[in-house]
Structure 1
Amino acid sequence: MGDLAVGARSGHDGPEEQPERPDGSATPATNDVTGSGSDSGDGGGGGTKEQGEQEPKPKKPRSFWKELPLLIGIALVLALLIKTFLVQAFSIPSDSMQNTLQQGDRVLVDKLTPWFGSEPSRGEVVVFHDPDNWLAGEPTPNPNAVQTFLSKIGLMPSANEKDLIKRVIGVAGDTIECKGSGPLTVNGKALNEDSYVYAGNTPCSVDDQGGQFKVTVPKGKIWVMGDHRQNSLDSRYHQQDDHQGFVPVGNVVGRAIVIAWPPTRWDTLPIPDTFDQNLSAAAPGALGLAGAVPLVLWRRRRLTAGNPRVSGRGTAG
Protein backbone atom coordinates (compact mmCIF):
# COMPACT_ATOMS: atom_id res chain seq x y z
CA MET A 1 0.00 0.00 0.00
CA GLY A 2 2.87 2.39 0.76
CA ASP A 3 4.41 1.78 -2.70
CA LEU A 4 1.14 2.48 -4.45
CA ALA A 5 0.77 5.75 -2.63
CA VAL A 6 4.27 6.83 -3.58
CA GLY A 7 3.71 5.81 -7.18
CA ALA A 8 0.57 7.92 -7.38
CA ARG A 9 2.44 10.95 -6.07
CA SER A 10 5.32 10.47 -8.51
CA GLY A 11 3.00 10.66 -11.59
CA HIS A 12 2.32 6.95 -12.23
CA ASP A 13 0.62 6.61 -15.63
CA GLY A 14 -1.60 3.71 -14.76
CA PRO A 15 -5.12 3.95 -13.53
CA GLU A 16 -5.36 5.05 -9.99
CA GLU A 17 -6.96 2.52 -7.70
CA GLN A 18 -10.06 3.67 -5.92
CA PRO A 19 -10.06 3.49 -2.14
CA GLU A 20 -12.08 0.74 -0.71
CA ARG A 21 -15.17 1.33 1.36
CA PRO A 22 -15.33 -0.02 4.86
CA ASP A 23 -17.45 -2.88 3.52
CA GLY A 24 -14.69 -3.77 1.04
CA SER A 25 -16.38 -2.40 -2.14
CA ALA A 26 -14.73 0.16 -4.39
CA THR A 27 -15.84 3.81 -4.47
CA PRO A 28 -17.63 4.48 -7.80
CA ALA A 29 -15.60 6.42 -10.33
CA THR A 30 -16.72 9.97 -11.28
CA ASN A 31 -17.15 11.17 -14.87
CA ASP A 32 -14.27 13.23 -16.17
CA VAL A 33 -14.83 16.89 -17.14
CA THR A 34 -14.88 16.18 -20.85
CA GLY A 35 -18.24 14.45 -20.55
CA SER A 36 -17.37 11.00 -21.74
CA GLY A 37 -20.82 9.92 -20.52
CA SER A 38 -24.08 10.78 -22.17
CA ASP A 39 -25.42 14.32 -21.58
CA SER A 40 -28.82 13.44 -22.92
CA GLY A 41 -29.78 11.38 -19.93
CA ASP A 42 -30.72 8.41 -22.07
CA GLY A 43 -28.37 6.09 -20.19
CA GLY A 44 -26.30 5.41 -23.33
CA GLY A 45 -22.57 5.51 -23.25
CA GLY A 46 -22.05 8.10 -26.05
CA GLY A 47 -21.99 11.91 -25.67
CA THR A 48 -23.04 12.56 -29.31
CA LYS A 49 -26.31 11.74 -31.11
CA GLU A 50 -26.62 8.34 -32.67
CA GLN A 51 -25.20 7.92 -36.12
CA GLY A 52 -27.66 8.60 -38.93
CA GLU A 53 -29.61 11.20 -36.89
CA GLN A 54 -29.18 14.68 -38.56
CA GLU A 55 -30.19 18.25 -37.77
CA PRO A 56 -33.43 19.31 -39.67
CA LYS A 57 -32.61 21.38 -42.74
CA PRO A 58 -34.24 24.88 -43.05
CA LYS A 59 -37.04 25.10 -45.62
CA LYS A 60 -35.98 26.45 -48.96
CA PRO A 61 -37.99 29.58 -49.89
CA ARG A 62 -40.35 29.25 -52.84
CA SER A 63 -39.07 30.71 -56.06
CA PHE A 64 -40.34 34.06 -57.31
CA TRP A 65 -42.00 32.42 -60.30
CA LYS A 66 -44.05 30.16 -58.03
CA GLU A 67 -45.14 33.16 -55.95
CA LEU A 68 -45.99 35.29 -58.99
CA PRO A 69 -49.47 33.83 -59.72
CA LEU A 70 -50.50 34.42 -56.10
CA LEU A 71 -49.25 38.03 -56.20
CA ILE A 72 -51.11 38.66 -59.47
CA GLY A 73 -54.30 37.20 -58.00
CA ILE A 74 -54.09 39.42 -54.92
CA ALA A 75 -53.40 42.48 -57.09
CA LEU A 76 -56.44 41.75 -59.29
CA VAL A 77 -58.74 41.32 -56.30
CA LEU A 78 -57.51 44.60 -54.79
CA ALA A 79 -57.94 46.38 -58.13
CA LEU A 80 -61.51 45.09 -58.41
CA LEU A 81 -62.36 46.24 -54.87
CA ILE A 82 -60.80 49.66 -55.48
CA LYS A 83 -62.70 50.07 -58.75
CA THR A 84 -66.00 49.03 -57.17
CA PHE A 85 -65.83 51.01 -53.94
CA LEU A 86 -63.09 53.66 -54.10
CA VAL A 87 -61.77 55.06 -57.39
CA GLN A 88 -62.36 54.30 -61.06
CA ALA A 89 -60.64 55.59 -64.19
CA PHE A 90 -62.67 57.06 -67.06
CA SER A 91 -61.63 58.22 -70.51
CA ILE A 92 -62.85 61.52 -71.98
CA PRO A 93 -64.34 60.73 -75.42
CA SER A 94 -65.38 64.20 -76.62
CA ASP A 95 -64.65 67.93 -76.48
CA SER A 96 -67.76 68.90 -74.47
CA MET A 97 -65.71 69.72 -71.34
CA GLN A 98 -62.94 71.74 -72.97
CA ASN A 99 -60.73 73.34 -71.81
CA THR A 100 -61.13 71.77 -68.40
CA LEU A 101 -60.82 68.31 -69.95
CA GLN A 102 -59.41 67.36 -73.32
CA GLN A 103 -60.41 64.43 -75.48
CA GLY A 104 -58.28 61.43 -74.48
CA ASP A 105 -57.69 62.56 -70.89
CA ARG A 106 -58.04 59.94 -68.16
CA VAL A 107 -59.73 61.08 -64.97
CA LEU A 108 -60.02 59.37 -61.60
CA VAL A 109 -63.50 59.38 -60.12
CA ASP A 110 -64.19 59.23 -56.39
CA LYS A 111 -66.79 56.50 -55.81
CA LEU A 112 -66.40 56.29 -52.03
CA THR A 113 -68.25 59.39 -50.78
CA PRO A 114 -71.58 58.48 -52.46
CA TRP A 115 -71.58 55.30 -50.38
CA PHE A 116 -71.85 57.50 -47.29
CA GLY A 117 -74.84 59.43 -48.63
CA SER A 118 -72.94 62.38 -50.10
CA GLU A 119 -74.76 63.99 -53.03
CA PRO A 120 -73.32 66.09 -55.87
CA SER A 121 -72.64 69.76 -55.16
CA ARG A 122 -72.74 72.77 -57.46
CA GLY A 123 -69.54 73.19 -59.45
CA GLU A 124 -68.38 69.57 -59.26
CA VAL A 125 -67.43 67.66 -62.39
CA VAL A 126 -69.31 64.36 -62.21
CA VAL A 127 -69.56 61.13 -64.17
CA PHE A 128 -73.08 59.73 -64.51
CA HIS A 129 -74.93 56.95 -66.31
CA ASP A 130 -76.86 58.05 -69.39
CA PRO A 131 -80.32 58.98 -68.03
CA ASP A 132 -82.36 59.14 -71.24
CA ASN A 133 -80.27 57.80 -74.09
CA TRP A 134 -78.31 61.02 -74.49
CA LEU A 135 -75.62 59.07 -76.34
CA ALA A 136 -77.93 57.83 -79.07
CA GLY A 137 -76.11 57.87 -82.38
CA GLU A 138 -72.66 57.91 -80.79
CA PRO A 139 -70.29 55.21 -82.11
CA THR A 140 -70.17 52.14 -79.88
CA PRO A 141 -66.64 50.96 -79.05
CA ASN A 142 -65.76 47.33 -79.74
CA PRO A 143 -63.08 46.33 -77.20
CA ASN A 144 -61.16 43.06 -77.42
CA ALA A 145 -61.18 40.42 -74.67
CA VAL A 146 -58.15 41.83 -72.87
CA GLN A 147 -59.57 45.37 -72.85
CA THR A 148 -62.88 44.05 -71.55
CA PHE A 149 -61.17 42.16 -68.73
CA LEU A 150 -58.99 45.10 -67.72
CA SER A 151 -61.97 47.46 -67.75
CA LYS A 152 -63.92 45.11 -65.45
CA ILE A 153 -61.19 45.27 -62.80
CA GLY A 154 -60.65 48.99 -63.21
CA LEU A 155 -57.24 48.97 -64.86
CA MET A 156 -58.71 50.49 -68.03
CA PRO A 157 -61.67 52.82 -68.56
CA SER A 158 -64.91 51.01 -69.24
CA ALA A 159 -65.72 50.77 -72.93
CA ASN A 160 -69.27 49.45 -72.74
CA GLU A 161 -70.83 51.58 -70.00
CA LYS A 162 -72.87 54.53 -71.27
CA ASP A 163 -71.41 57.25 -69.07
CA LEU A 164 -71.14 61.02 -69.49
CA ILE A 165 -69.15 63.71 -67.73
CA LYS A 166 -70.45 67.25 -67.10
CA ARG A 167 -70.37 70.01 -64.49
CA VAL A 168 -73.14 70.30 -61.89
CA ILE A 169 -74.80 73.70 -62.18
CA GLY A 170 -77.87 73.22 -60.00
CA VAL A 171 -79.13 70.86 -57.29
CA ALA A 172 -82.59 70.18 -55.88
CA GLY A 173 -84.57 73.37 -55.29
CA ASP A 174 -82.37 75.61 -57.47
CA THR A 175 -83.88 77.82 -60.17
CA ILE A 176 -81.49 78.14 -63.11
CA GLU A 177 -81.98 80.68 -65.85
CA CYS A 178 -80.16 81.74 -68.98
CA LYS A 179 -81.24 84.63 -71.21
CA GLY A 180 -79.56 86.02 -74.27
CA SER A 181 -75.84 85.32 -74.11
CA GLY A 182 -75.73 85.26 -70.31
CA PRO A 183 -74.81 85.37 -67.59
CA LEU A 184 -76.11 82.09 -66.23
CA THR A 185 -77.94 82.63 -62.94
CA VAL A 186 -78.67 80.27 -60.04
CA ASN A 187 -81.46 81.44 -57.73
CA GLY A 188 -81.13 84.92 -59.21
CA LYS A 189 -77.36 85.18 -58.64
CA ALA A 190 -75.04 85.45 -61.63
CA LEU A 191 -72.15 83.02 -62.05
CA ASN A 192 -68.77 84.29 -63.20
CA GLU A 193 -67.75 81.37 -65.41
CA ASP A 194 -64.66 82.80 -67.07
CA SER A 195 -62.35 80.35 -65.28
CA TYR A 196 -63.87 77.23 -66.79
CA VAL A 197 -66.12 78.04 -69.78
CA TYR A 198 -64.33 77.46 -73.10
CA ALA A 199 -62.67 80.61 -74.39
CA GLY A 200 -64.85 82.38 -76.93
CA ASN A 201 -68.07 80.70 -75.72
CA THR A 202 -70.92 82.61 -74.13
CA PRO A 203 -72.50 81.15 -70.96
CA CYS A 204 -75.79 80.68 -72.86
CA SER A 205 -76.37 79.61 -76.44
CA VAL A 206 -78.62 81.91 -78.44
CA ASP A 207 -80.86 79.32 -80.08
CA ASP A 208 -84.39 78.02 -79.73
CA GLN A 209 -83.45 74.41 -78.99
CA GLY A 210 -82.61 74.77 -75.31
CA GLY A 211 -79.98 77.49 -75.17
CA GLN A 212 -82.48 79.82 -73.50
CA PHE A 213 -84.20 78.33 -70.46
CA LYS A 214 -85.52 78.71 -66.94
CA VAL A 215 -85.91 75.55 -64.86
CA THR A 216 -86.32 74.54 -61.22
CA VAL A 217 -84.48 71.38 -60.21
CA PRO A 218 -86.76 68.75 -58.61
CA LYS A 219 -85.82 66.74 -55.53
CA GLY A 220 -83.34 63.93 -56.21
CA LYS A 221 -82.11 65.49 -59.49
CA ILE A 222 -79.28 67.71 -60.74
CA TRP A 223 -78.84 70.03 -63.75
CA VAL A 224 -75.59 69.60 -65.66
CA MET A 225 -73.82 71.53 -68.40
CA GLY A 226 -70.59 71.11 -70.34
CA ASP A 227 -67.81 73.69 -70.09
CA HIS A 228 -67.68 73.92 -73.91
CA ARG A 229 -71.13 75.48 -74.02
CA GLN A 230 -71.49 75.62 -77.78
CA ASN A 231 -70.34 72.00 -78.17
CA SER A 232 -72.21 70.17 -75.41
CA LEU A 233 -75.57 68.41 -75.69
CA ASP A 234 -76.24 68.60 -71.96
CA SER A 235 -79.34 69.13 -69.79
CA ARG A 236 -80.41 72.10 -71.91
CA TYR A 237 -81.01 69.96 -75.00
CA HIS A 238 -82.88 67.09 -73.31
CA GLN A 239 -85.79 68.97 -71.74
CA GLN A 240 -88.24 66.95 -73.85
CA ASP A 241 -86.94 63.63 -72.47
CA ASP A 242 -88.58 61.63 -69.68
CA HIS A 243 -86.40 63.31 -67.02
CA GLN A 244 -86.79 66.75 -68.68
CA GLY A 245 -83.02 67.18 -68.89
CA PHE A 246 -82.41 66.52 -65.20
CA VAL A 247 -80.08 63.74 -64.08
CA PRO A 248 -81.22 61.49 -61.19
CA VAL A 249 -78.77 61.57 -58.31
CA GLY A 250 -78.84 57.77 -58.34
CA ASN A 251 -77.25 57.83 -61.81
CA VAL A 252 -74.17 59.66 -60.56
CA VAL A 253 -71.11 57.39 -60.43
CA GLY A 254 -68.96 59.90 -58.57
CA ARG A 255 -66.99 63.11 -58.72
CA ALA A 256 -63.98 63.45 -61.03
CA ILE A 257 -61.17 64.57 -58.73
CA VAL A 258 -57.97 64.47 -60.78
CA ILE A 259 -56.64 64.23 -64.31
CA ALA A 260 -54.35 61.19 -64.14
CA TRP A 261 -53.25 60.83 -67.76
CA PRO A 262 -51.33 61.97 -69.73
CA PRO A 263 -48.63 63.01 -67.22
CA THR A 264 -48.29 66.40 -68.90
CA ARG A 265 -51.87 67.18 -67.85
CA TRP A 266 -51.79 65.99 -64.24
CA ASP A 267 -54.08 68.31 -62.30
CA THR A 268 -56.87 68.40 -59.74
CA LEU A 269 -60.47 69.37 -60.54
CA PRO A 270 -61.53 71.80 -57.79
CA ILE A 271 -64.87 73.58 -57.51
CA PRO A 272 -64.59 77.06 -59.11
CA ASP A 273 -64.69 80.04 -56.77
CA THR A 274 -67.91 81.40 -58.25
CA PHE A 275 -69.81 78.59 -56.51
CA ASP A 276 -68.52 79.75 -53.12
CA GLN A 277 -71.10 82.53 -52.98
CA ASN A 278 -74.38 81.82 -51.21
CA LEU A 279 -76.49 80.36 -53.99
CA SER A 280 -79.06 78.60 -51.82
CA ALA A 281 -82.70 79.13 -52.65
CA ALA A 282 -84.89 80.54 -49.88
CA ALA A 283 -87.19 77.90 -48.43
CA PRO A 284 -90.89 78.33 -49.43
CA GLY A 285 -91.91 78.28 -45.76
CA ALA A 286 -89.53 81.11 -44.96
CA LEU A 287 -90.82 83.15 -47.88
CA GLY A 288 -94.40 82.59 -46.76
CA LEU A 289 -93.61 83.66 -43.22
CA ALA A 290 -91.76 86.76 -44.43
CA GLY A 291 -94.78 87.74 -46.52
CA ALA A 292 -97.30 87.00 -43.75
CA VAL A 293 -95.71 89.14 -41.03
CA PRO A 294 -96.35 92.55 -42.72
CA LEU A 295 -99.92 91.49 -43.55
CA VAL A 296 -100.66 90.57 -39.92
CA LEU A 297 -99.18 93.83 -38.62
CA TRP A 298 -101.17 95.90 -41.12
CA ARG A 299 -104.40 94.14 -40.17
CA ARG A 300 -103.67 94.69 -36.47
CA ARG A 301 -103.14 98.41 -36.98
CA ARG A 302 -106.47 98.70 -38.77
CA LEU A 303 -108.28 96.92 -35.98
CA THR A 304 -106.61 99.12 -33.39
CA ALA A 305 -107.44 102.32 -35.27
CA GLY A 306 -111.11 101.32 -35.77
CA ASN A 307 -111.73 100.23 -32.16
CA PRO A 308 -110.25 102.46 -29.41
CA ARG A 309 -110.88 99.72 -26.87
CA VAL A 310 -108.42 97.41 -28.62
CA SER A 311 -104.91 97.76 -27.27
CA GLY A 312 -101.66 96.04 -28.00
CA ARG A 313 -102.22 93.71 -25.05
CA GLY A 314 -105.53 92.28 -26.17
CA THR A 315 -109.22 93.22 -25.86
CA ALA A 316 -110.28 95.30 -22.86
CA GLY A 317 -113.19 93.77 -20.90
Structure 2
Amino acid sequence: MDTEASHTQRGHSSPVEGEGRSRSAFSGAAALFARPGWFTWRRAGLLGIVCTVFLLLLSNFVVQPFLIPSRSMEPTLATGDRVLVNKLAYGSGGGPKRGDVVVFDGTGSFVPEHAGDGGNPVGEALHGAASALGLAEPSDTDFVKRVIGVGGDDVVCCDAGGRLKVNGVPLDEPYLYPGDAASKVPFRIVVPLGTLWVMGDHRSQSRDSRDHLGEPGGGMVPVDKVIGRADWIGWPASRWGAPGAAGGSGGGHG
Protein backbone atom coordinates (compact mmCIF):
# COMPACT_ATOMS: atom_id res chain seq x y z
CA MET A 1 0.00 0.00 0.00
CA ASP A 2 2.83 2.40 0.83
CA THR A 3 4.45 1.63 -2.53
CA GLU A 4 1.25 2.30 -4.44
CA ALA A 5 0.72 5.54 -2.55
CA SER A 6 4.23 6.81 -3.37
CA HIS A 7 3.75 6.03 -7.08
CA THR A 8 0.43 7.83 -7.07
CA GLN A 9 1.92 10.88 -5.43
CA ARG A 10 4.76 11.06 -7.92
CA GLY A 11 2.32 10.66 -10.83
CA HIS A 12 0.27 13.62 -9.67
CA SER A 13 3.20 15.78 -8.68
CA SER A 14 5.21 15.62 -11.95
CA PRO A 15 2.96 17.88 -14.06
CA VAL A 16 2.82 20.41 -11.25
CA GLU A 17 6.61 20.55 -11.08
CA GLY A 18 6.84 20.95 -14.89
CA GLU A 19 4.27 23.69 -14.84
CA GLY A 20 6.23 25.42 -12.11
CA ARG A 21 9.39 25.33 -14.18
CA SER A 22 7.55 26.76 -17.24
CA ARG A 23 6.08 29.55 -15.16
CA SER A 24 9.51 30.24 -13.70
CA ALA A 25 11.12 30.49 -17.16
CA PHE A 26 8.32 32.74 -18.42
CA SER A 27 8.60 34.94 -15.35
CA GLY A 28 12.37 35.21 -15.84
CA ALA A 29 11.98 36.27 -19.48
CA ALA A 30 9.28 38.76 -18.58
CA ALA A 31 11.46 40.17 -15.85
CA LEU A 32 14.34 40.58 -18.31
CA PHE A 33 12.24 42.60 -20.77
CA ALA A 34 10.61 44.58 -17.97
CA ARG A 35 13.96 45.45 -16.41
CA PRO A 36 14.69 49.17 -16.81
CA GLY A 37 17.43 49.83 -19.38
CA TRP A 38 17.34 46.42 -21.11
CA PHE A 39 16.82 48.33 -24.37
CA THR A 40 19.34 51.06 -25.06
CA TRP A 41 20.23 53.06 -28.13
CA ARG A 42 23.72 51.63 -27.91
CA ARG A 43 22.36 48.08 -28.21
CA ALA A 44 20.03 49.15 -31.01
CA GLY A 45 22.94 50.74 -32.84
CA LEU A 46 25.08 47.65 -32.40
CA LEU A 47 22.26 45.45 -33.70
CA GLY A 48 21.88 47.77 -36.69
CA ILE A 49 25.60 47.55 -37.46
CA VAL A 50 25.56 43.76 -37.24
CA CYS A 51 22.54 43.54 -39.57
CA THR A 52 24.13 45.96 -42.05
CA VAL A 53 27.39 44.01 -42.12
CA PHE A 54 25.45 40.77 -42.66
CA LEU A 55 23.47 42.30 -45.53
CA LEU A 56 26.64 43.70 -47.12
CA LEU A 57 28.30 40.29 -46.96
CA LEU A 58 25.20 38.68 -48.45
CA SER A 59 25.14 41.33 -51.17
CA ASN A 60 28.84 40.95 -51.92
CA PHE A 61 28.85 37.17 -52.28
CA VAL A 62 25.32 35.81 -52.86
CA VAL A 63 22.47 38.15 -53.88
CA GLN A 64 22.75 41.86 -54.53
CA PRO A 65 19.83 44.28 -54.84
CA PHE A 66 20.25 46.52 -57.89
CA LEU A 67 18.29 49.71 -58.47
CA ILE A 68 17.35 50.20 -62.14
CA PRO A 69 18.41 53.77 -62.99
CA SER A 70 17.07 54.25 -66.54
CA ARG A 71 14.54 53.23 -69.20
CA SER A 72 16.99 51.17 -71.24
CA MET A 73 15.49 47.80 -70.23
CA GLU A 74 11.79 48.67 -70.55
CA PRO A 75 9.36 46.96 -70.52
CA THR A 76 11.25 44.14 -68.80
CA LEU A 77 12.67 46.42 -66.11
CA ALA A 78 11.34 49.88 -65.28
CA THR A 79 13.11 52.85 -63.75
CA GLY A 80 13.05 52.42 -59.97
CA ASP A 81 12.69 48.64 -60.00
CA ARG A 82 14.91 46.82 -57.54
CA VAL A 83 16.09 43.52 -58.93
CA LEU A 84 17.88 40.74 -57.09
CA VAL A 85 21.13 39.86 -58.84
CA ASN A 86 22.16 36.24 -58.40
CA LYS A 87 25.94 36.25 -58.01
CA LEU A 88 26.10 32.45 -57.87
CA ALA A 89 24.32 31.96 -61.20
CA TYR A 90 27.53 31.30 -63.11
CA GLY A 91 29.66 29.88 -60.33
CA SER A 92 29.52 26.27 -61.50
CA GLY A 93 31.46 26.96 -64.69
CA GLY A 94 28.56 27.73 -67.02
CA GLY A 95 28.72 31.26 -68.40
CA PRO A 96 25.92 33.65 -69.37
CA LYS A 97 23.53 32.44 -72.05
CA ARG A 98 21.72 34.28 -74.79
CA GLY A 99 18.64 35.95 -73.39
CA ASP A 100 20.00 36.31 -69.84
CA VAL A 101 19.57 39.73 -68.24
CA VAL A 102 22.91 40.47 -66.59
CA VAL A 103 24.47 43.16 -64.45
CA PHE A 104 28.10 43.86 -65.27
CA ASP A 105 30.99 46.19 -64.60
CA GLY A 106 31.47 48.20 -67.79
CA THR A 107 34.94 49.44 -66.91
CA GLY A 108 37.12 49.02 -69.97
CA SER A 109 34.20 48.24 -72.28
CA PHE A 110 31.40 50.77 -71.75
CA VAL A 111 33.42 53.34 -69.78
CA PRO A 112 37.15 54.09 -69.92
CA GLU A 113 39.53 52.67 -67.35
CA HIS A 114 40.08 55.03 -64.39
CA ALA A 115 36.96 57.01 -65.36
CA GLY A 116 35.83 57.20 -61.74
CA ASP A 117 39.18 58.16 -60.23
CA GLY A 118 39.62 61.43 -58.36
CA GLY A 119 36.38 61.38 -56.38
CA ASN A 120 35.87 61.58 -52.63
CA PRO A 121 36.89 58.14 -51.27
CA VAL A 122 34.60 58.38 -48.24
CA GLY A 123 31.63 59.51 -50.32
CA GLU A 124 32.28 56.78 -52.87
CA ALA A 125 32.48 54.14 -50.13
CA LEU A 126 29.19 55.29 -48.61
CA HIS A 127 27.51 55.39 -52.01
CA GLY A 128 28.89 51.94 -52.80
CA ALA A 129 27.46 50.53 -49.58
CA ALA A 130 24.07 52.15 -50.23
CA SER A 131 23.94 50.89 -53.82
CA ALA A 132 24.95 47.39 -52.67
CA LEU A 133 21.83 47.40 -50.48
CA GLY A 134 19.64 48.72 -53.30
CA LEU A 135 19.16 52.06 -51.55
CA ALA A 136 20.96 54.22 -54.11
CA GLU A 137 21.58 54.20 -57.84
CA PRO A 138 24.39 51.90 -58.92
CA SER A 139 27.88 53.06 -59.73
CA ASP A 140 28.34 54.82 -63.07
CA THR A 141 30.35 51.80 -64.18
CA ASP A 142 27.59 49.22 -63.54
CA PHE A 143 25.08 48.36 -66.27
CA VAL A 144 22.15 46.00 -66.81
CA LYS A 145 21.56 44.60 -70.32
CA ARG A 146 20.39 41.48 -72.12
CA VAL A 147 22.87 39.02 -73.61
CA ILE A 148 22.34 38.78 -77.37
CA GLY A 149 25.54 37.04 -78.42
CA VAL A 150 28.10 34.87 -76.63
CA GLY A 151 31.62 33.88 -77.62
CA GLY A 152 31.79 32.65 -81.21
CA ASP A 153 28.36 33.98 -82.27
CA ASP A 154 27.87 35.84 -85.56
CA VAL A 155 25.38 38.64 -84.85
CA VAL A 156 23.91 40.64 -87.74
CA CYS A 157 21.49 43.54 -88.00
CA CYS A 158 19.24 43.05 -89.68
CA ASP A 159 17.41 40.65 -92.01
CA ALA A 160 14.69 41.65 -94.50
CA GLY A 161 12.11 41.45 -91.72
CA GLY A 162 14.06 43.84 -89.49
CA ARG A 163 15.14 41.11 -87.06
CA LEU A 164 18.57 40.42 -85.64
CA LYS A 165 20.19 37.22 -86.85
CA VAL A 166 22.41 35.07 -84.66
CA ASN A 167 24.43 32.46 -86.52
CA GLY A 168 22.13 32.91 -89.51
CA VAL A 169 18.91 32.34 -87.55
CA PRO A 170 16.42 35.22 -87.06
CA LEU A 171 16.04 36.17 -83.40
CA ASP A 172 12.56 36.30 -81.89
CA GLU A 173 12.51 39.16 -79.35
CA PRO A 174 9.13 39.39 -77.58
CA TYR A 175 10.73 41.49 -74.84
CA LEU A 176 11.38 44.50 -77.12
CA TYR A 177 9.74 47.79 -76.18
CA PRO A 178 6.55 48.16 -78.28
CA GLY A 179 7.27 50.05 -81.49
CA ASP A 180 11.05 49.72 -81.23
CA ALA A 181 13.08 48.31 -84.10
CA ALA A 182 15.57 45.57 -83.31
CA SER A 183 18.22 48.16 -84.15
CA LYS A 184 18.42 51.23 -86.36
CA VAL A 185 22.19 50.82 -86.47
CA PRO A 186 23.30 48.15 -88.95
CA PHE A 187 26.18 45.97 -87.85
CA ARG A 188 27.77 42.58 -88.25
CA ILE A 189 30.11 41.27 -85.59
CA VAL A 190 31.61 37.99 -84.47
CA VAL A 191 31.74 37.85 -80.67
CA PRO A 192 35.24 36.94 -79.45
CA LEU A 193 35.48 34.01 -77.06
CA GLY A 194 35.19 35.03 -73.43
CA THR A 195 33.06 38.09 -74.21
CA LEU A 196 29.39 39.04 -74.67
CA TRP A 197 27.41 41.26 -77.03
CA VAL A 198 24.68 42.96 -74.97
CA MET A 199 21.74 45.23 -75.79
CA GLY A 200 18.90 46.90 -73.92
CA ASP A 201 15.27 45.89 -74.47
CA HIS A 202 14.27 49.51 -75.11
CA ARG A 203 16.57 49.81 -78.09
CA SER A 204 15.82 53.46 -78.88
CA GLN A 205 16.70 54.45 -75.29
CA SER A 206 19.64 52.12 -74.68
CA ARG A 207 23.35 52.83 -74.92
CA ASP A 208 24.78 49.36 -75.32
CA SER A 209 27.30 47.36 -77.33
CA ARG A 210 26.23 49.15 -80.54
CA ASP A 211 27.44 52.49 -79.19
CA HIS A 212 30.97 51.23 -78.61
CA LEU A 213 31.66 49.50 -81.91
CA GLY A 214 34.51 51.86 -82.83
CA GLU A 215 36.13 51.85 -79.40
CA PRO A 216 38.76 49.51 -77.93
CA GLY A 217 37.01 46.22 -77.26
CA GLY A 218 34.35 46.93 -79.87
CA GLY A 219 31.51 47.02 -77.34
CA MET A 220 32.18 43.49 -76.12
CA VAL A 221 31.79 42.81 -72.39
CA PRO A 222 34.30 40.35 -70.88
CA VAL A 223 32.53 37.46 -69.16
CA ASP A 224 34.65 37.97 -66.06
CA LYS A 225 33.14 41.46 -65.69
CA VAL A 226 29.64 40.02 -65.20
CA ILE A 227 28.47 40.62 -61.62
CA GLY A 228 25.48 38.30 -61.82
CA ARG A 229 22.14 37.49 -63.42
CA ALA A 230 19.04 39.56 -62.68
CA ASP A 231 16.71 36.79 -61.51
CA TRP A 232 13.90 38.54 -59.65
CA ILE A 233 12.14 41.88 -59.35
CA GLY A 234 11.85 42.45 -55.61
CA TRP A 235 10.30 45.93 -55.60
CA PRO A 236 7.77 47.41 -56.14
CA ALA A 237 5.43 44.68 -54.91
CA SER A 238 3.16 45.13 -57.93
CA ARG A 239 6.01 43.92 -60.16
CA TRP A 240 7.22 40.93 -58.12
CA GLY A 241 8.44 38.12 -60.30
CA ALA A 242 11.14 37.06 -62.74
CA PRO A 243 12.09 39.47 -65.54
CA GLY A 244 10.47 38.84 -68.91
CA ALA A 245 11.33 35.62 -70.64
CA ALA A 246 14.05 35.55 -73.26
CA GLY A 247 13.26 35.08 -76.90
CA GLY A 248 14.51 32.26 -79.10
CA SER A 249 18.15 32.34 -80.18
CA GLY A 250 20.21 31.15 -83.06
CA GLY A 251 22.43 28.10 -83.12
CA GLY A 252 26.11 27.89 -82.31
CA HIS A 253 27.92 28.35 -79.02
CA GLY A 254 26.24 29.09 -75.70
The answer for the alignment partner of 1:151 in structure 2 is 130
Query: Residues 128 and 139 of structure 2 are in contact (CA less than 8 Å); yes or no, is this contact kept in structure 1?
Result: no
Closer/same/farther in 2, CA of residues 127 and 273 from structure 1, 3 Å limit: same
Equivalent residue for 1:269? 243
Q: CA deviation at 1:81?
A: 1.2
Q: 1:69 to 1:150 in 2, by over 3 A?
A: same
Give the distance between the partners of 2:128 and 2:156, measured in 1 at CA: 44
Deviation sequence 1:182-227 (CA, Å, 0-9, x none): 211111111111x20110111121xxxxx11111111110000111
Q: Following the alignment from structure 1 to structure 2, what is the Cα–Cα distance between the partners of residues 71 and 225?
A: 42
**Quick check: 1:227 aligned with 2:201?**
yes
Answer whether contact 2:67 2:82 (CA < 8 A) is retained.
yes
Question: In 2, are the aligned partners of 1:128 and 1:163 still within 8 Å (CA)?
Answer: yes
Q: Could you tell me how far 1:114 is from its partner in structure 2?
A: 3.4
1:226-278 residue CA offsets vs partner (Å, 9 max, x unmatched) = 11112222111211111111111111111111112222222212542424xx6
- Of 82, 92, 95, which residue of structure 2 is paired with 1:106? 82
Distance (Å, rounded) in 2 between the aligned partners of 1:165 and 1:256 = 8
Amino acid at match of 1:232: S
User: Which residue matches 1:166?
Assistant: 145
Q: 1:141-290 to 2 correspondence within 5 Å?
A: 148=127, 150-151=129-130, 154=133, 156-157=135-136, 159-179=138-158, 182-193=162-173, 195-205=174-184, 211-269=185-243, 271-275=245-249, 279-281=251-253
Residue 165 (structure 1) shift: 0.9
| Structure with higher RCO (Cα < 8 A, 6+ apart) | 2
Structure 2 unmatched runs, 5+: 1-27
Return closer, same or farther for 1:118/1:158 CA change in 2, 3 Å cut-off. farther
- Give per-residue Cα distances to partners, 1:259-312, cap 9 Å, x unaligned: 12222222212542424xx62259xxxxxxxxxxxxxxxxxxxxxxxxxxxxxx
The amino acid across from 1:186 in the alignment is V
Q: CA 1:149–1:253 in structure 2 vs 1: closer, same or farther (change >3 Å)? A: closer
Pair 1:161–1:179, CA change in 2 (3 A):
closer
Q: Distance in 2 between matches of 1:105 and 1:201?
A: 21
In 2, the alpha carbon distance for the partners of 1:153 and 1:272 equals 26
C-alpha contact (below 8 Å) 1:129/1:253 kept by paired residues: yes
Is 1:128 aligned to residue 104 of structure 2?
yes
CA RMSD of aligned residues (A): 3.1
Alpha-carbon displacement from aligned partner over 1:28-75 (angstroms, at most 9, x marks no partner): xxxxxxxxxxxxxxxxxxxxxxxxxxxxxx897472436534432331
- Normalising by structure 2, we get a TM-score of 0.73
Partners of 1:131 and 1:149 lie apart in 2 by: 16
Deviation at residue 152 of structure 1 after TM alignment? 6.4
Residues 155 and 163 (structure 1), Cα distance of their counterparts in 2 relative to 1, 3 Å cut: closer
TM-score by length of 1: 0.59
Seen in structure 2, the aligned counterparts of structure 1 residues 76 and 61 have a Cα distance that, compared at 3 Å, is same
Query: Matches of 1:72 and 1:251 in 2, distance apart?
Result: 32
Of 159-168 and 183-192, more deviation after overlay is shown by: 159-168
Match of 2:48 in 1: 72
Q: CA deviation digits over 1:101-144, x for unaligned, max 9?
A: 1122211111123344331110011111114463589xxx9997
The answer (yes or no) to whether the contact 1:259–1:267 under 8 Å persists in 2 is yes
Larger radius of gyration: 1
Higher share of residues assigned helix? 2
Match of 2:60 among 79, 84, 87: 84
